[in-house]
Amino acid sequence: MSEFPRVRPRRLRATPALRRLTAETRLHPSELVLPMFVREGIDEPVEIGSMPGVVHHSVDSLKRAVEEAAEAGIGGVMLFGVPLEKDAVGSGATDPDGILNVGTRAAVDAAGDALVVQTDLCLDEFTDHGHCGVLAADGSVDNDATLARYDEMAVVQAEAGSQLIGMSGMMDGQIGSARDALDAAGFGGTALLAYSAKYASAFYGPFREAVQSSLVGDRRTYQLDGANRREGLREVELDIAEGADIVMVKPAMSYLDVLADTAAVSTVPVWAYQISGEYAMIHAAAANGWIDLEAASAESVLSIKRAGADAILTYFALDLAKRLNTGRI
């Protein structure tokens, strides 16, 4: 027997061409979804300070940005509305002329069949208390009263043209309730994305600036405890049983174990959301010269794909798509 090893894994790492040929995980622009914010009362894009490169769009600039995303081959855009006025029940969310629904119609018109226009269904952007649901007299979030509001929102969003509704509020029974409401209203073909394993996280901070959140307190009575892995999978299984077309884990990078668990058992597509704090941290470290922005952003999203995500919501989507299209990843 030779004194040297016969098995040399390094052989397949020797050149860029070999590494490309033997890569186990690959990214494609069609697997990326770009979250976007459309804000009422502005005429041009407004930068979001804690999220470099991300803006509040006017309706007109949203159209142009959706067209750019479509040209880059991105799979979809996820829309969030930022209204001028809020109230206790989030009335703007079910107003056909509310900013999210107006933005949805504009995005659908701009996108055509090139990508999937998706909408976030949650009340936090629209309520003056900043919670994701209707409050009971004692200040707690009333689960079942909130479901009634979600049902109304789902129908209005479908009427505006949303092809995929992202149920992000983490109310018990929200998928089954919205499914019934959509079917009864004649929108049986509108798909539901369940934010199934959505954890209470310290990494949401920049997003709350982006949606101009009014939240006081926290959302730990309805979002998952970061200590709980099995509970994430339980929520996934419940949402699939209620009729979810896609399930999602959020945040992504801190919960790759939950994502891998979900991918191992799910009978529907599995997505993950690389959230605002994850995006902002990479930008902040790069701005200080500590890491390379392009390399770190690509690696971070690749890790999410490797853990089992079929598609990824990320604020890096457009940049990554452009680099993938030109062979720079």
CATH of the domain at 187: 3.20.20.70
What is the extent of the structural domain holding 115? 27-325
Residue 21 in domain: no
* Whether the Cβ atoms of residue 291 and residue 278 lie closer than 8 Å to each other: no
Residue 309 falls within a domain, yes or no? yes
Number of domains making up the chain: 1
Q: Is residue 189 part of a domain?
A: yes
Residue 10 domain flag = no
Query: Is residue 8 one of the residues assigned to a domain?
Result: no
CB atoms within 10 A of CB 177: 20
Whether 13 is covered by a domain: the verdict is: no
Q: From the candidates 86, 250, 305, 322, give the one annotated as an active-site residue.
A: 250
* One-character DSSP codes across 16-50: HHHHHHT-S----GGGEEEEEEEETT-SS-EE-TT
**Does the residue 212 lie in any domain?**
yes
Among 192, 196, 50, 207, CA closest to 124? 207
Catalytic residue list contains 198:
yes
* Predicted TM-score (pTM) of this structure: 0.96
- In the residue annotation, 305 being an active-site residue is answered as no
For each of the chain's 329 residues, which pLDDT tens digit applies?
678 899 999 999 999 999 999 999 999 999 999 999 999 999 999 999 999 999 999 999 999 999 999 999 999 999 999 999 999 999 999 999 999 999 999 999 999 999 999 999 999 999 999 999 999 999 999 999 999 999 999 999 999 999 999 999 999 999 999 999 999 999 999 999 999 999 999 999 888 888 888 877 789 999 999 999 999 999 999 999 999 999 999 999 999 999 999 999 999 999 999 999 999 999 999 999 999 999 999 999 999 999 999 999 999 999 999 999 999 99
Catalytic-role residue among 63, 86, 198, 305: 198
Domain contains 3: no
